[in-house]
């Protein structure tokens, strides 16, 4: 913990007499331990602890451990970034699926009342029910035109959601 916080290497060549030894070193029951920080971009991401060397750890051993810790820290850091990117990609895929499902459900829900509206307007356009007032006829014709436009938009949304869900085959043409 001390090495992680400070970033300074620590060597304990006799854990039995050194009472300030780390709890981890005690749990490992190692007689000698060397601990170096694993740093990436001036940030400590872990520690490398080596124990039970037959002879005391030297400054040269610490330099060797630090040279091993540097690439190991890079690998661990890249693994963490990869995992983060994978999690983000999974979340984005889930959001895309939710969007596709939402568009599909909304499109279907809009089609039901729109079908009733188009049917009612079609009924009003029958000659025996068509109002005699030309402005009323224009309003009914405009409502029919806009309802059909809305139906086309909803159908396009449904087609797009089916394409995104890969449930509709795509055949590109010139």
List, as one string, the DSSP characters of 139-150: HHHHHHHHHHHH
pLDDT digits (tens, 9 = 90+) for 86-97: 999 999 989 988
CA distance 78 to 86: 12
Q: Are the beta carbons of 7 and 39 closer than 8 angstroms?
A: yes
**Rounded percentage of the chain residues whose pLDDT exceeds 70:** 93
Mean per-residue pLDDT of the chain: 87
pTM above 0.75, yes or no: no
Residue 135: pLDDT band with limits 50, 70, 90: very high
pLDDT digits (tens, 9 = 90+) for 142-167: 999 999 999 999 988 888 877 777 77
């Amino acid at each position: 913990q001390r090495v992680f916080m400070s970033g300074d290497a620590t060597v304990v060549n006799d854990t039995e007499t050194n009472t300030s030894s780390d709890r981890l070193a005690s749990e490992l029951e190692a007689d000698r331990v060397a601990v170096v920080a694993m740093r990436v971009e001036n940030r400590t991401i872990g520690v490398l602890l080596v124990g039970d060397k037959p002879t005391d750890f030297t400054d040269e051993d610490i330099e060797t451990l630090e040279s091993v810790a540097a690439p190991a820290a890079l690998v661990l850091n890249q693994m963490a970034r990869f995992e983060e990117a994978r999690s983000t990609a999974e979340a984005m895929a889930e959001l895309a699926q939710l969007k596709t499902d939402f568009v599909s459900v909304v499109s279907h829900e809009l089609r039901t009342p729109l079908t009733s509206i188009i049917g009612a307007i079609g009924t009003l356009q029958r000659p025996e029910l068509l109002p005699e007032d030309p402005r009323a006829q224009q309003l009914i014709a405009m409502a029919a035109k806009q309802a059909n436009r809305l139906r086309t938009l909803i159908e396009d949304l449904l087609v797009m959601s089916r394409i995104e869900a890969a449930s509709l085959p795509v055949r590109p043409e010139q």
